Amino acid sequence: MPCSVKKFLKKKHISYSKESIEQVYIKSDELGAERFRRAGNRYIHTIKTGSGLQRQEIEEYVSYKEYQDAKLKNPNIIKKIRCRFELDGYEFELDIFKDRLKGLNILEIEFDDLNSAKSFKMPDVLAEIVVTEVTDDRRFTNGYLSKSMTIPKPGR
């Protein structure tokens, strides 16, 4: 792994935007998750259903107070920097985790349909920093991470 993912992107001339994110999970299990997120100065309540490649999300903006109330329900807050960039016609989100999850970086791509997801090939330039595929490993979901607050070992 390069000394810094952000330095890697810069070295490869991949321009990106970044945003600081905090997330608190109210519920997370194999059926889905409920979370509150602070992204910049926006506060968002999200309910997710499904797992793996196919998940549905319902999001609504909430107030700062609603976000703070949610933080009182769970002291494990995920903090990360999200870097967004485009490459080979795809939009990527690279989460660089902080605090107790420092050292974990997760690359995510959202697809319009299942066939697009299944036919995706990782761009060669990113293949050198991608360690393993974790789409079907729920231990790498933010909801699971918020419970353990430890970095799982890849594989089963």
Q: For 56-85, what is each residue's pLDDT tens digit?
A: 889 999 999 999 999 998 888 999 999 999
What are the structural domains of the chain?
5-148 (2.40.320.10)
Q: For 10-63, what is each residue's pLDDT tens digit?
A: 899 999 999 999 999 999 888 889 999 999 999 999 999 876 667 788 999 999
Rounded to 5, what percent of the chain is helix, strand, coil? Answer: 25, 40, 35
Q: For 141-152, what is each residue's pLDDT tens digit?
A: 999 999 999 999
pLDDT at 1: 40
Say if CB 66 and CB 43 are below 8 A apart: yes
